Structures are given as structure tokens and as C-alpha cells.
Amino acid sequence: MSISMEEVRRTAELARLELDEAELAAFQGELNALLGHFEDIQEVDTEGLDPKPHAVALTSVWAEDEIEEGLSREDALSGAAKTRAGLFIVPTVIEESH
Amino acid sequence: MTGLTAAELSAKLQSREISAQEAAEAHFDRIETIDGDYGAYLLLCREEAMKQAEAAQAMLDAGDAPALCGIPYALKDNIVTKGITTTCASKVLEGWVPPYSASVYQQMQNQGMVLLGKTNLDEFAMGTSTENSAYQLTRCPWDPHCSPGGSSGGSAAAVSAELAPISFGSDTGGSVRQPASLCGVVGFKPTYGRISRYGLVAFASSLDQIGPFGRTVEDTSLAFEAVAGHDRHDSTSLPNAAYSSKELKSGSLKGLKMAIPKELFGDEVDPGVKEVFERGIKKLQAEGAIVSIVSLPSLQLGVTTYYIIAPAEASSNLGRYDGIRFGPRIEEGDHNKSTAMTRGQLFGHEVKLRIMVGTYALSAGYYDAYYHRAQQVRGLMADEMAEVMKEHDVIISPTSPVSSFRLEDDSLDQMALKMLDLCTIPANMGGFPSISIPCGADNDMPVGLLLTGPVMGDEKLLQAAWAAEQALGFVGRRPPIL
């Protein structure tokens, strides 16, 4: 399998990574090299094998419903570049329709 | 004083022959004298450490203090420390001061342990040489032209160069054990879920595990004991996670069944490493270990499986870095543009590559061929290993196919660097406990022996490692510093 420049661009867009042309070209080369190495698992007969998403599977993990001190609003905002009136400031993402 | 093991230092602290402040000062003095040459630490927290040492001394004076009270240690800089900058060696988190502490840090504070500083790593723990740090290179104490390994290279180098008696790193595919091997120290990845991951900055959540470094198995076991245990803040934390070092020295090699998978001992392994490993095996056999060669065919697929699953999880975990809630933000155009600019400019190349690989592997049309299939192979690997462990006590191999390599060596391509994880990846896939101990040296560069046991078999594994350490006789060899 090889990855086209169009797919590299689309992947960068999905990943929210702004890359310049030189970087996109470099990633195309590196992704193709890696995908080449990944061919080995395509040859394995995986019919009927269960996927393993966890290292050690636990089921129904519940915590006691205890009241405890969480992060204060001040602490939660302490790392933000912009805050106002106890809130994170984010740019407008929903535009007015015309 | 900095040459003492944590166990030796503990005896002197408990008998009040020395004070916690003196122990911390001695380490800061050595760090200031030589760490300029090695770059193990990204940040020293002297002021905070002296406060912690003072509190520790009060506990020691009152009597009945925990075993590691007053012991100085270092933390990899992807473990969050309230009020102390945590960067993951990334520009994305430059200057970030966490508003909370990782459970491990909190536990060690409660026991009067003294944090010396935060150590260097490959950005977001992605790498095998610590060269992917956005801030500095770390050098191997055995040869400053060489890499300490990675991604926890700073924590391994700190312990090796006697800049801390113990330290902690994180291990997603070998990031504790491989640098331990290259730096000639002990590095342990416990069973997944025995040490809380709360406050460990997530890379690949189903594989990540915090693990300790020490210069001896005993110190590593004591460090593990200090932080093992169930934590309600981590839903993957195991119920009976606590650990005790009490039985450690009852370990014996007599009749211990060891299996060497031939897939981890093939052409990828350097001849010099092979020779040291084979000499080591003879020493273990001389003490009564029963060694046999086994075949686990799926282990050949470990590197591919890892380089699909880990980036897939990372591409999701690293989605949170948008410059809104933490870290710097580059403003240009609309929200999406600013976010993409922030991420594109502040993440390093390897991190971006892995986000790209993961995003691609999870994207529509490729999910089944890559991610789903990799998870099936992951299950196969874990099953094959568990099967061998029914008949054998431990699985052994070299930790790394090579000893330390030169820094900034362009001849090592991406895939060659990724093959360095060949032997360590299998343990992460099944959550197995796995430890690297020094096996010997090839041209004066350390070579590690990797021992892996069954899930929740940490006690027996550490006992076996302790017994192997006695037989191998590497303890006491020091890197050529000062």
C-alpha cells in the first residue's frame, strides 16, 4: 500500500497539523517507508482472532461515590493563554448564517 | 555519599548518621559539577527539594519513617508535579506548571522522599535515544559521545551517573528497560496497572506504564514498593496492586526455568551483544537455571504491531494540545487554522510523524487493515507468551539488540531506531512485568538482560532478577566519570 500526496494532505488536515510543502513531502516518504514495513501483518491469518484493546482487561470499574475536592476554577484556568471572568477564551467557531 | 545505593542510604538516614538535607545537598553538588556534561536533568527543584528534605528529617526524627524517607529521586518530565514545570520535553508544553500532581509523586511526598528534579526524554516519550527532546541532548555516562537510549534517557543517565540513587520513567514499548540497558542500570516495567498512571501524560494509554530505575535490583524493588498500589483515580489500576520487597532476597536460580524466544535472538542482534548475552546465560546455568530455546513466531510482528497501536492511541491522546487550556498558542486566522499552526509549529518531527501514522491507521478505509488487525496480532502475541509462561518461570532475551550507539548518527534510519524496541515491545502488548538488568559489557559498553514474567508475577520476577544479578556480577562496575 502506498500513500498519495493527497492522502498525506488529508491526514494532516484530520490531525490538525499545519505542514509546509517540504514537510508534507518528507512525511509522504516516511509514511510510505513505514507502511512498507507494516506489510508483514497483512500476511497473518487473523480469521477468528479477537482484537486485544487492553493490556490487562478489567470490567465494570466503579469508584465509590465520595465527595472530594476537585480542581478549583482558578487552578483549572492556570495554564490557559487567555481567560476572562473565570472562563477559557476561545475564538468564535460558529459563524452567523446569512 | 552519591555512590551509595538507596538501601545503603536508607540505613544511614534511618540511623540518623546523615540527614535528609545532607543527602539532597550531596546530590545537588554532584549534579552541578557534572550534569553539564550529561544533560540528564531538564529542571532542578532545589528550593522545593530542601523543603521536602526538611519534612523528611522531621519524620525520621520522630521515628517509624517509611523505608525510603529522605531518599532523593528524579522523575521523567512527563509525570506531572503540582507547582513544578512539566514539559514532556516538548515546545507544546513549554513553561506549563501543572495544577495537580501525579499519584506517584503524591505517594512519594507522603513518604518523605525528596524530588531532585525532572529528567530529559524524547518528546512525549516518543523515541529510543532521547534525541527527540525539544530542549537538549542527554549523553550516556559510559561514553558521552553515545546515546543513553530512550525515551527515559534522562532518568537512566541520572541513576547511572550517580546523580540520583533511584528515578522513574515511563515504558510504552521499552522506554524504561532499553535506556536502563544502555546505561548499565536496572529498569523495571511492572505489570500494567500496578502503578497508577494518573498524572502520567498519556502517550498510548493501553501500553503506558510508569517504572523505576535503580543501580541494583534491590533499589528498584524498593522504589516499586513505594509507588505500587491501587488508585481510584486510574480506572485501569489493578485491585491488588500493592507490592512488598520483603521476599526479594529469597530468589534463587536453582531449577528456575528460563525460555529464550529465538525470534528475539536472530540477525537483528549485534554479535557483540550476543556474546555478552551467551556468557551471561552460562553464569545463570552455573547457578542452576534451566535454559531452553522456544519459538514464539508472532513476536516478529511486534515492531509493526506497536508502531500501529501506539501512534493510533497517541493521535487521539495528543488531540488535546490545541493551545487553549495549556501551553503556548499561535494565533493566525480562524480557530482551526490557529490550532493547526500551534500543533504544526510546536510539535517536533517524530511526534508529528506518529500523529500522522496514527490518524492514517484509524481513518476510514484503513482501520481494518491496520488498527483492527494490529489488535488481533497483539492478542496473538500475548497468548503465545502466556502459553510459554505456563511451562517456564521467565522469558529472557537481550534487552536491546545493540549496546549504546553514537548520538546524531545519520546512518541509523527511522526503522533501525524502531527495531531497538524489538525485545521490549512484547511485554507491553500483554501487560507483562519485565525487567532489564546489566548482563555484562561489550567493549566497555553495558549490555542488558531482559526478564519477563506473567501478569501479576512481579514478585517472582524481581526475585529471579535479584538472583540473576548476584550470578552476573556486574554490580559495582561504574561508568568512567570523575
Chain B: closest CA distance from residue A28 (Å): 10
| CB contact at 8 A, B149 and B179 | yes
Identify from B356, B362, B422 which residue to disrupt to test chain A contact, counting A C-beta atoms within 10 A and taking the largest count. Answer: B356
Contacts of A12 in chain B (CB under 8 A): 356
- Nearest CB to B206; choose among A17, A30, A55: A55
Question: How far is B282 from B464, CA to CA, in rounded Å?
Answer: 16
Give B85 to chain A, closest Cα distance, Å: 11
| CA pair distance B139, B44, nearest whole angstrom | 18
ipTM of the complex: 0.93
The verdict on a CB contact (< 8 Å) between B206 and A53 is yes
Look at the block and give the residue holding cell 481510584: B232
Distances (CA, A) of B443 to B98, B284, B437: 43, 22, 18
Contact B102, B79 (CB under 8 A): yes
Residue A1: its pLDDT value, please? 63
Q: What values do phi and psi take at B82, rounded to 5?
A: -55, 125
Residue A33: closest C-alpha in chain B:
B415
Query: How is chain A split into domains, by residue range?
Result: 5-43
Nearest to A15 among B193, B356, B372 (CB): B356
User: Taking Cα atoms as reference points, which of B77, B28, B32, B34 lies closest to residue B49?
Assistant: B28
Please answer whether residues B118 and B43 qualify as being in contact, where contact means their C-beta atoms are separated by less than 8 angstroms: yes
**Short-list B481, B449, B434, CA closest to B140:** B481
User: Are the C-beta atoms of residues B104 and B227 closer than 8 Å to each other?
Assistant: yes
Please answer whether residues B138 and B153 qualify as being in contact, where contact means their C-beta atoms are separated by less than 8 angstroms. Answer: yes
B151 is catalytic: yes
Contact call for B415 and A33, based on CB within 8 A: yes
Closest to B315 (Cβ–Cβ): which among A15, A26, A34?
A15
What is chain B's alpha carbon radius of gyration, rounded to the nearest angstrom?
A: 21
CA distances from B250 to A80, B211, B247, B465, B468 (A): 52, 22, 5, 11, 12
The DSSP symbol for A41 reads G
Question: Per the structure block, which three cell numbers stand in for B264?
Answer: 528475539
* Binding-face residues of A in 65-84 toward B, CB within 8 A: 71, 75-76, 78-81
In the annotation, is B175 catalytic?
yes
Query: Using a CB-CB distance cutoff of 8 angstroms, which residues of chain A are in contact with residue B307?
Result: 34, 37-38
Output the domain CATH number for residue B397. 3.90.1300.10
Nearest to A55 by CA among B395, B389, B385: B385
Strand partners, B290: B257
Each of the 482 residues of chain B gets a pLDDT tens digit; together they read 999 999 999 999 999 999 999 999 999 999 999 999 999 999 999 999 999 999 999 999 999 999 999 999 999 999 999 999 999 999 999 999 999 999 999 999 999 999 999 999 999 999 999 999 999 999 999 999 999 999 999 999 999 999 999 999 999 999 999 999 999 999 999 999 999 999 999 999 999 999 999 999 999 999 999 999 999 999 999 999 999 999 999 999 999 999 999 999 988 899 999 999 999 999 999 999 999 999 999 999 999 999 999 999 999 999 999 999 999 999 999 899 999 999 999 999 999 999 999 999 999 888 998 999 999 999 999 999 999 999 999 999 999 999 999 998 877 776 777 788 999 999 999 999 999 999 999 999 999 999 999 999 999 999 999 999 999 999 889 999 85
Name the 3-class secondary structure at A70: coil
Task: Say whether pLDDT at A14 is over 80.
Answer: yes
Cell numbers 512519594: residue: B108
What is the average per-residue pLDDT within A5-24? 97
Of A30, A41, A80, the CB nearest to B301: A41
Question: What is the pLDDT, as a whole number, of residue A97?
Answer: 65
Whether residue B324 and residue A7 make contact (CB cut-off 8 A), yes or no, is no
**In A1-98, which ranges are E strands?**
83-84, 87-88
Q: Give contacts of B 218-237 with A, CB under 8 A.
A: 232, 235-236
User: What count of other Cβ atoms lies within 10 Å of the Cβ of residue B295?
Assistant: 11
What CA–CA distances, in Å, run from A70 to A32, A76, B479? 46, 10, 46
More confident call, A63 vs A39? A39
> Given B10, B76, B118, B196, which residue is catalytic?
B76
Q: Which residues of B touch A19 (CB under 8 A)?
A: 344, 352
Cβ atoms of residues B58 and B20 within 8 Å: no
Partner-chain contact B232 A37, CB within 8 Å:
no
Instruction: Give me the domain span that covers residue B118.
Output: 1-482
CB neighbours (10 Å) of residue B95? Answer: 12
Angle, to 10 degrees, between the axis of helix B46-62 and the axis of helix B20-38? 150
Look up residue A62 and give its DSSP letter: -
Backbone phi, then psi, for B3, in 5-degree steps?
-80, -10
